[in-house]
Amino acid sequence: MKIYLAGPDVFLDSFGATIFAAKKKLCALYGYVGISPMDGQLDTSGLAPFEQGVSIYAANIGHMRVCDAMIANMTPFRGISMDAGTAFEMGFMAAAGKAVLGYSNVPQSYAARAEAYYSGGRHEALDAYSAGTAIESFEMADNLMMAGAVHASGFEVVRNSVARGQELVALEGFEACLRQLHKRR
Amino acid sequence: MKIYLAGPDVFLDSFGATIFAAKKKLCALYGYVGISPMDGQLDTSGLAPFEQGVSIYAANIGHMRVCDAMIANMTPFRGISMDAGTAFEMGFMAAAGKAVLGYSNVPQSYAARAEAYYSGGRHEALDAYSAGTAIESFEMADNLMMAGAVHASGFEVVRNSVARGQELVALEGFEACLRQLHKRR
């Protein structure tokens, strides 16, 4: 069984090489094969920036198509929500009928983070125009589409508290997803 | 042809009733039927918050399944990226082989917004732990997965500058998507 390793991990040092190696090792412990977005030999040199992005898109789609499941790093990234590219990938895998799992290393609910965003006036510099919009309060880790997809797959989003500064790299939540998957198979 | 009207519009007053009515009217002008996430009679009263979210998820998935295309409001929402739930829906529609279109009423590239996020120190209160992560620079409106999906569908993300305060409600970009779709069919 192949598991797509989705998350903003790709934006870490060396495109997340260290963390993807650690995730693959954990996958192997459970008898799975981890597939990272960075796998394969993608040469984008000589391409214009937009075309580079298009090539990476096609490569990621190819990786997802060969996987049977995904474990998404849903930790908030550059805002109060998870990385939007990872959210896209959760939707892609859900539509393809693959198992969708995810973990967040920031345990608060989406509603709590959204309320802090407005009460702290943080929206003023980012999207002042969203002031007054309704905050969904479903006691979920992020927007209901992602939490709903994990639930529809028969799993639960893992919400973990980790040491400060370790939010993007701590792997306990990732391993808890592996255990959920292993228990069901 | 049915078009799914995706976006944070659902968080506007009365769940976006006014804007969805306007979008449906525009769709009809081009011979299309707009389907809003709020369509149908979903009764979530009496359900626990999490189960309400799960019901709305199922309803949205049902709406997407009957649509042939989507037009996503990709305007940044509560951060520098678009609404994560809408990103999920773009991935869902891409995997289902539907036409994926989108518009943003904030024309800057994702890279420009991410740079301002860090240089303005805005990450400190939101996700200080993401400091130093790589910023993708593909001259795209948002993360490459969403821009890549629109491109793979044969369309272009519409990036429009609108009057201040109108970012979540201006419809010129939406109509430009309708024109793109109409031209190709």
Give the pLDDT band (50/70/90) at residue B154. Answer: very high
**Residue among B53, B130, B136 whose CB faces A148 most closely:** B53
**Residue among B79, B91, B166 whose CB faces A79 most closely:** B79
Tokens found for residue A55? 């090539």
Cβ of A60 within 8 Å of Cβ of B145? The answer is yes
> What is the pLDDT at residue B41?
85
The tens digit of pLDDT for each residue in B84-121 reads 999 999 999 999 999 999 999 999 999 999 999 999 99
Neighbours of A139 (CB within 10 A): 16
Q: In this structure, are residues B12 and A133 in contact, taking their beta carbons and an 8 Å threshold? A: yes
The tens digit of pLDDT for each residue in A130-181 reads 999 999 999 999 999 999 999 999 999 999 999 999 999 999 999 999 999 9
SS3 state at B159: strand
Chain A residue nearest residue B166, CA to CA: A129
Cβ of B94 within 8 Å of Cβ of A78? The answer is no
Cβ of A53 within 8 Å of Cβ of B142? The answer is no
Cβ of A78 within 8 Å of Cβ of B76? The answer is no
**Residue among B76, B87, B129 whose CB faces A88 most closely:** B87
Chain B residue nearest residue A84, CA to CA: B84
Strand order in the sheet with A158-159: A33-35, A2-6, A69-73, A99-104, A158-159
**Residue among B129, B139, B147 whose CB faces A168 most closely:** B129
Question: SS3 helix, strand, coil % of chain A, rounded to 5?
Answer: 50, 15, 40
> What is the pLDDT at residue A41?
85
Best probe of the A interface among B9, B56, B57, B61, by most A CBs < 10 A, is B57
What's the mean pLDDT in A53-80? 97
Q: For chain A, give the percent of residues with pLDDT over 70.
A: 99
- Rounded to a whole number of angstroms, the CA Rg of chain A reads 17
Chain A residue nearest residue B134, CA to CA: A11
| Residue B128 one-letter amino acid | A
What's the mean pLDDT in B28-49? 95
Please report the number of interchain residue pairs, chain A to chain B, with beta-carbon separation below 8 angstroms. 230
Model confidence at A81: pLDDT above 80: yes
Strands (E) across B33-126 are located at 33-35, 69-73, 99-104
Model confidence at B185: pLDDT above 80: no
**Residue among B49, B96, B114 whose CB faces A139 most closely:** B49
Chain A residue nearest residue B94, CA to CA: A92
Give the pLDDT band (50/70/90) at residue A17. Answer: very high
Best probe of the A interface among B52, B139, B145, by most A CBs < 10 A, is B145
Q: Where are the alpha helices (DSSP H) in chain A?
A: 13-29, 49-66, 84-95, 110-119, 123-126, 144-152, 172-184
